[in-house]
Structure 1
Amino acid sequence: MKKFKVTVPATSANIGVGYDCLGVALDYYLELMVSESESIEYLENGEEFSIPLEENYIYSTIKLIEEKYNKKVPNYKVEIIKNEIPVSRGLGSSSSAIIAGILIADKFLGGILSEDDMAKLATEIEGHPDNVLPAIFGGMILASHDSENFYYSRIPFDNNIYFYVMIPDFKLSTEKARAVLPKEYKVSDLISNASKLGLLIDSFHRKNYDDLRFLLDDKVHQPYRFSLINNSEDIFNYSEKHGALGEYISGAGPTLISLNYKDAGFFSAMKKELENLPDKWSLEMKKICTRGAETEDIRE
């Protein structure tokens, strides 16, 4: 009987001017134990998932792969060991489930998918490569695609830079966050983003962060989403005041992230600022996850 563990990291996408193209894996994890079973089961804390199968991204991804490759995955049981990725907070909870589904199907089907196959498949399912590719490969990923072509590049990232992750106690759906975006943009705003993206990648290559806040200053999505995230502009201002290198909205929000070196003073100052806000915000200091999603065989 096949039994294995699946581990998938969280992702933080839409990094500033990298809207829909630049994302990073962070060290929050979804961990699952998977085994062959007499029937298909999804368990959390010993009980059935509260999410019905038709809304379960793991299940729907496995079914899609079965249909795409005309192969049958045997009945299986999925048990959640750990899930640190909050739902609807802009940290890739749905992406992690899709990647988990791909890994589970591939494992049962004998390893028929390469990493590139997984990347293309995940992008087709999720729609946004910056959400899923960092979870597959680890690290920071820049990606582009259309209906026929698919490209990505792994961006070197300074291990001395930390992600100060600020998560509120309210959710924000991707659909709502996309609905506020305009149908048309000024050419000057698009030029601003395009030029900054190139320089942002260059700053990560050179480990030079003097202009990081300016280079993260997006004109395409963040200005329209601040109104959906309570006190977000205030939090960005606090972050700048206390010495961060720069800030951005993670994914579609509402999670906000400050980039900075390891700094206990900055952490303490931001924690105090967040505690004074009407909503409840958590603050955690995370590092980039350099290892992507993986499976581990369990021998009994």
Structure 2
Amino acid sequence: MGKIVIRVPATSANLGPGFDSIGVALHLYLTVIVEEKTEEWRVNHALGPDVPNDKQNLIVQAALAVNPKLKPHQLTVMSDIPVARGLGSSSTAVIAGVKIANELGEMDLSLADQVTIAAKIEGHPDNVAPGLLGDVVVSDYDGESATTVKLGMPEGLKMLAFIKNESLLTSESRKVLSDELPRKQAVVGSSVANVMVAALATNNWELASHMMERDQFHEIARTKLVPELPMIRETAHKFGIYGTYLSGAGPTIGTFGTEPQLIVLRQKLSDMDVKGSLRIFDIDRQGATVNAE
């Protein structure tokens, strides 16, 4: 068997009111090259000392969770995705592991099977589903199986990501969330999410972008951890741009718009000296690939 090249896009999840259920794939990638068999798993990377280079690496752990009988191989890993910034870095590793298990184990898993397996490992589907399928995906995971619907973001849209300089672990960010919501607030959150999905499905971006800013499930609580969210949203509104939301658990903040709109917004935010990087990403429409399939 020759080298296997797996490419997995970054993802932005919790798309507005789509808490743990709606995410989008971005043109930013983890690439894993599966090379020769070895005595022990070896993972070559330049991602820093905190990322294991043996079988403790999350990619290998995910692959072995899918197929414990896999023989060790050497992996070379390259990633443009910042770690613990709300852009699905751990999810891309899980997806790569599922793909490795499927290829090396000749398991012939369907994409639906791969989403369910990855969601089971990750605990929720909102990153792994768009990572595997591409574009924007609405998904559900009931603990046994994942159900997905792939939609399409309007052509010409890109995302401006404000990526804070410091990381924010999902586990830490979840601690500020309440275990319960008042029924009235939950109904509002659910109805807003329903309208946003319907608007995306009918290509009504004006409506979808407004609904995206009305989350009731997590943004209110997490704003204390990412106080730049209302400031960026208000600045975007001054240019007529809607569709700003907290990406994943944060601290990245995403804003959708056309490239000319986002260039103007990026310049304005740069002039305001926000503490982080500002990058414009295309939307990945294809999802994870094996040997550029």
Structure 2 length as normaliser, TM-score? Answer: 0.92
Aligned ranges 1:53-64 → 2 under 5 Å: 53=54, 55-64=56-65
Q: Residues 16 and 48 of structure 1: is their aligned pair in 2 closer, same or farther, counting only changes over 3 Å?
A: closer
Deviation of residue 241 (structure 1)? 1.6
Aligned mate of 1:164, from 160, 164, 178 = 160
CA deviation after TM superposition for structure 1 residue 120, in Å: 0.8
Change over 3 Å in CA distance of 1:187–1:45 after alignment to 2 = closer
Please say if 1:16 is aligned against 2:11: no
| 8 Å CA contact retained: 1:243, 1:266 | no
Q: Note the C-alpha offset of 1:253.
A: 0.5
Q: How far, CA to CA, are the matches of 2:182 and 2:122 in structure 1? A: 28
Q: Distance in 2 between matches of 1:278 and 1:198?
A: 33
RMSD (CA atoms): 2.1
**How far did 1:144 drift?**
1.2
Alignment partners' CA distance in 1, 2:266 and 2:84: 23
Tell me the CA shift for residue 285 of structure 1.
1.7
Aligned-residue sequence identity (percent) comes to: 29
Comparing 129-138 with 107-116, greater Cα deviation is found at 107-116
1:108 aligns with 2:104: yes
- Tell me how far apart the structure 2 counterparts of residues 8 and 149 of structure 1 sit (CA, whole Å): 22
C-alpha spacing 1:74/1:260, structure 2 compared with 1 (3 Å): same
1:290 aligns with 2:285: yes
| 3-state SS in 2 of match to 1:270 | helix
1:192 maps to 188
What CA distance in whole angstroms lies between the structure 1 residues aligned with 2:172 and 2:54?
Answer: 24
Q: CA deviation at 1:11?
A: 0.8
Look up the match of 1:237.
234
Q: Secondary structure at the match of 2:205?
A: coil
- Equivalent residues, number: 290
> Does the CA contact (< 8 Å) of 1:42 and 1:49 recur in 2?
no
Amino acid at match of 1:73: L
Q: Distance in 2 between matches of 1:55 and 1:109?
A: 19
Distance of aligned partners of 1:135 and 1:149 in 2 relative to their CA distance in 1, 3 Å threshold? closer
Q: Can you list the C-alpha shifts for 1:138-176, whole angstroms capped at 9, x where unaligned?
A: 111111121344321111221222111111111111011
Check conservation: 1:246, 1:259, Cα contact below 8 A: yes
Pick closer, same or farther for the CA change 1:189–1:55 going to 2, 3 Å: farther
8 Å Cα contact 2:43/2:53 also seen in 1:
no
Residue of structure 1 equivalent to 2:83: 87
CA-to-aligned-CA distance 1:100-135 (integer Å, 9 cap, x gap): 011111111124322111111001000110110111
Letter in 2 for 1:295: V
**In structure 1, distance between residues paired with 2:93 and 2:167:** 18
- Contact kept in structure 2, 1:90 and 1:253, CA below 8 Å: yes
CA pair 110-191 structure 1, distance change in 2 beyond 3 A: same
Q: Secondary structure at the match of 1:87?
A: coil
**Residues 1:34 and 1:228: Cα distance change in structure 2 (over 3 Å):** same
For 2:74, give the aligned amino acid. K
Q: Matched residue of 1:210: which SS? A: helix
Q: Quick check: 121-130 or 268-277, which moved more?
A: 268-277
**Which stretches in structure 1 are left out of the alignment for 5+ residues?**
none
AA aligned to 1:223 is I
| 78 and 288 in structure 1: CA distance in 2 versus 1, 3 angstrom threshold | same
Deviates more, 1:54-63 or 1:268-277: 268-277
- Kept after mapping to 1: 8 A contact 2:229/2:245: no
Deviation string, structure 1 residues 62-87 (Cα, Å, up to 9, x no partner): 221223xxxx222211112x311110
> Does structure 1 residue 4 correspond to structure 2 residue 4?
yes
Q: How many angstroms does 1:210 deviate by?
A: 3.0
Superposed CA offset, 1:227-265 (max 9, x none): 1014222122112222212211001110001111221x5
Distance 2:145 2:101 in 1: 24
Output the amino acid matched with 2:104. F
Within 2, Cα distance between the matches of 1:238 and 1:13? 22
How far 1:266 moved relative to its partner? 4.0
